[in-house]
Homo-oligomer: A and B are copies of this chain.
């Protein structure tokens, strides 16, 4: 266990990193997940490490779409499980959404570890581990092509935090609405999803939970209007601009 000084200028980021390293030691996070997190750290750094106004817009639209959904599903991978297990379970309860584990780097043992970990964090049911209810998406080649008949396969709105581009596209081709968390506003995932929340998944999931709770009282017309007014491409362009502004500020002080 590494001791992180409380007064370290990057203490928050370091503590999150430890959460992930712990997840790795417990067989939840893949090696590739550590790498992916590093990429996220870099983009979060370039976004000033806070939930931007643009991210809040995307969270509002996501909360509306998820609340309107008939069969919402939260797709979980190693990193999102390790980083925000409680937020994932809470959200599934607020939305009455299914949780399904779906891994890019296939590993039956890790899948079972994640399912156990989510259950320890309060999940009643976690799909993805039952071979008899599997469906294969023919338009995908990675391990992620395996989905659950009663989960992602049947879902209408799928929340996929920390997703890869191929799968986002495959889900879109199946006419599903896809919501993703991606700190890189330029990534294929970010550009392909219906709604992209450019935010750290821990901060963003907390905010999404809060908003979904609030929206459960709104009527369908109001929610539909929020979804209609949201423009993902425009919102992403603003996030790219935010990075540029950060670079301008930093370049001036370099």
* A152 CB, min distance to chain B CBs, angstroms: 20
User: Which residues of A, 188-226, contact B by the 8 Å Cβ criterion?
Assistant: 188, 191
Tell whether, in the assembled complex, residue A186 and residue B38 are in contact, meaning their CB atoms are under 8 Å apart. Answer: no
* A80 CB, min distance to chain B CBs, angstroms: 16
Tell whether, in the assembled complex, residue A5 and residue B142 are in contact, meaning their CB atoms are under 8 Å apart. Answer: yes
A32 part of interface (Cβ distance < 8 Å): yes
Tell whether, in the assembled complex, residue A186 and residue B240 are in contact, meaning their CB atoms are under 8 Å apart. Answer: no
CA distance A43 to B45 in the complex (A): 11
Tell whether, in the assembled complex, residue B241 and residue A254 are in contact, meaning their CB atoms are under 8 Å apart. Answer: no
CA distance A247 to B186 in the complex (A): 8
Q: How many residues of A contact B (CB 8 A)?
A: 44
Total copies of the chain: 2
A37 part of interface (Cβ distance < 8 Å): yes
Tell whether, in the assembled complex, residue B20 and residue A35 are in contact, meaning their CB atoms are under 8 Å apart. Answer: yes
Which of A2, A24, A237 has the most C-beta atoms of chain B within 10 angstroms of its own C-beta? A2
Tell whether, in the assembled complex, residue A240 and residue B244 are in contact, meaning their CB atoms are under 8 Å apart. Answer: no
Tell whether, in the assembled complex, residue B165 and residue A9 are in contact, meaning their CB atoms are under 8 Å apart. Answer: yes
User: Which residues of A, 226-253, contact B by the 8 Å Cβ criterion?
Assistant: 233, 236-237, 240-241, 243-244, 247-248, 250-251
Assuming the contacts A8-B166, A38-B34, A184-B45, asked whether A236 and B248 have C-beta atoms less than 8 A apart, the reply is no
What is the chain B residue whose CB lies nearest that of A246?
A: B186
Chain B hits for A166, CB < 8 A: 8
CA distance A240 to B246 in the complex (A): 10
Chain B hits for A186, CB < 8 A: 45, 247, 250-251, 254
CA distance A39 to B183 in the complex (A): 12
- What are 14 of the A-B contact pairs (CB < 8 Å)? A21-B31, A21-B32, A24-B31, A31-B34, A34-B34, A34-B38, A38-B38, A38-B39, A38-B40, A38-B42, A39-B39, A41-B42, A186-B250, A240-B247
